Amino acid sequence: MKPTPFTHKHIALGAKMAEFAGYNMPISYSGINDEHHTVRTNAGVFDVSHMGEFVLKGENALDLIQRVTSNDASKLTEGKAQYSCLPNENGGIVDDLLVYCIEENKVYMLVVNASNIEKDWEWISRHNTKQVEMHNISSKTALLAIQGPNATRILQPLTDMDILNLKYYTFVKGRFAGVDNVLVSATGYTGAGGVEIYFEDKDGACETIWDAIFEQGSPTGMKPIGLGARDTLRLEMGYCLYGNDLDDFTTPLEAGLGWITKFTKSFTASEYLQKQKSNGVEKKLVGFEMIDKGIPRHDYRIKDSEGNLVGKVTSGTQSPTLGKAIGMGYVLADLSTPETEIWIEIRDKLIKAKVVRPPFVQS
């Protein structure tokens, strides 16, 4: 397993560690429920340095991004970011990602999932027919997500950048905790507010920033948070997880990501996806709440009232905020209307649930 620049910190703090996407990652510290509530009500710090980062430079950088991603990156100006995905030739999703505009029409940063770093690099490189300068900076980039309603207020004294008023999906670069060239982005995976900070792992920057954040935040109740709570937090918001809710065989339209699929340009499989939009999808990703007692898990079968197989669960958990079980899964399109009753097969028993429209909790 690969370490992140903070692995020694997690171990010293007594975190429960496990392998995730080839990295030795903290799953929990004080317990998933406690960490979950800390982020929803105050602020917590996630080490997400396992994520991948690519920098694309040159006069054809935007052209390459436009050809391989579904969203319209031409709308981005310096200091703005967008959520997008990489469709494959069949309309499936190679990965979902963030696109950051560092310098308009010239320099962009793509943030991809840890498990897909090599896959995404090869995919984008294959389409790089106009000699765009590409740099995989994943191994030398540290990334901390400080999430929660109090996150920016706690962090503001550590920088002259105005992060208190940073608008959603925008970012600034500057000095943070005495370290230069830190990118602070109003993005995240929790729906609880906060920022993500990117910086180069050199000259003790990781130690400096980690220690400064907790020196500032610990007196206010800020805590380190593991991947377990990251999963429950994102699921309460209905955010997709690649490998569960998204994969090479599901399209962005089936996944409810039509809002990041823009047909104002040509991109990989855009013609196929345009036809799918016109004809309608056969299956849809839906959110659901359990009516009867039972916790849905990945790959559990979904059935209709007559016991016919109509789909499968992609993500599921007991929601710490709601105190009831929730999930997401693909079902036949005619069963995707909110309030439709479905049944989850749990240990050979059919447990009733109903379709709801995410998010499950309000941010």
Query: In Å, how far are 43, 51, 155, 170 from 150, measured between CA atoms?
Result: 6, 24, 9, 18
pLDDT tens, residue by residue, 163-201? 999 999 999 999 999 999 999 999 999 999 999 999 999
Domain co-membership, 171 together with 299: no
Among 236, 271, 292, the domain-final residue is: 236
* Preceding omega of 296 cis (within 30 degrees of 0): no
Mean pLDDT calculated for residue range 22-29: 98
E strand or H helix that includes residue 332:
strand 325-332
The pLDDT of residue 54: 99
User: Side chain identity at 70, as an amino acid letter?
Assistant: S
pLDDT at 297 over 90: yes
pLDDT at 12 over 90: yes
Per-residue confidence at 28, pLDDT binned at 50, 70, 90?
A: very high
Round to whole Å and give the CA distance between 341 and 159. 50
pLDDT tens, residue by residue, 254-286? 999 999 999 999 999 999 999 999 999 999 999
Domain co-membership, 228 together with 288: no
Residue 191 falls within a domain, yes or no? yes
Long-range contacts of 246-251 (CB under 8 A, 24+ apart): 246/85, 246/93, 246/96, 247/92, 247/93, 248/88, 248/90, 248/92, 248/93, 248/94, 249/90, 249/92, 250/92, 250/93, 250/285, 250/330, 251/87, 251/91, 251/92, 251/93, 251/276, 251/281
Domain co-membership, 20 together with 166: yes
- Residue 326: CB partners within 8 Å, gap ≥ 6? 235, 236, 287, 288, 289, 290, 296, 316, 317, 318, 319, 360
The pLDDT of residue 280: 97
Among 218, 236, 254, the domain-final residue is: 236
Per-residue confidence at 307, pLDDT binned at 50, 70, 90?
A: very high
- Closest Cα to residue 321, out of 233, 234, 241? 233
Say what percent of the chain tops pLDDT 70: 100
Domain CATH number, residue 349: 2.40.30.110
Domain co-membership, 144 together with 18: yes
- Closest Cα to residue 22, out of 162, 116, 161? 116
Domain co-membership, 46 together with 157: yes
Mean pLDDT calculated for residue range 329-341: 98
Residue 256 falls within a domain, yes or no? no
DSSP class of 278: H
Tell me the Ramachandran region of residue 21: left when phi exceeds 0, alpha when psi lies from -120 to 50, beta otherwise.
Answer: left
Domain co-membership, 303 together with 216: no
Round to whole Å and give the CA distance between 340 and 305. 10
User: CA quadruple 134, 139, 142, 144: dihedral positive or negative?
Assistant: positive
Domain co-membership, 222 together with 303: no
Domain co-membership, 40 together with 151: yes
Sheet containing 141-147: order of strands: 171-176, 179-185, 194-200, 141-147, 44-47, 223-225
pLDDT tens, residue by residue, 86-108? 999 999 999 999 999 999 999 99
Residue 150 falls within a domain, yes or no? yes
Per-residue confidence at 362, pLDDT binned at 50, 70, 90?
A: confident
Q: Which structural domain, as residue segments, surrounds residue 212?
A: 7-51+139-236
Name the average pLDDT for the chain. 98
pLDDT tens, residue by residue, 41-80? 999 999 999 999 999 999 999 999 999 999 999 999 999 9
Domain co-membership, 209 together with 294: no
E strand or H helix that includes residue 346:
strand 341-346
- How many structural domains is the chain composed of? 2
Domain CATH number, residue 181: 3.30.1360.120
pLDDT at 126 over 90: yes
Residue 311 falls within a domain, yes or no? yes
Residue 92 falls within a domain, yes or no? no
Residue 347 falls within a domain, yes or no? yes
Domain co-membership, 342 together with 222: no
pLDDT at 363 over 90: no
The pLDDT of residue 70: 98
Residue 27 falls within a domain, yes or no? yes
Domain co-membership, 288 together with 352: yes
Domain co-membership, 212 together with 289: no
Residue 348 falls within a domain, yes or no? yes
Residue with tokens 């899964």: 329
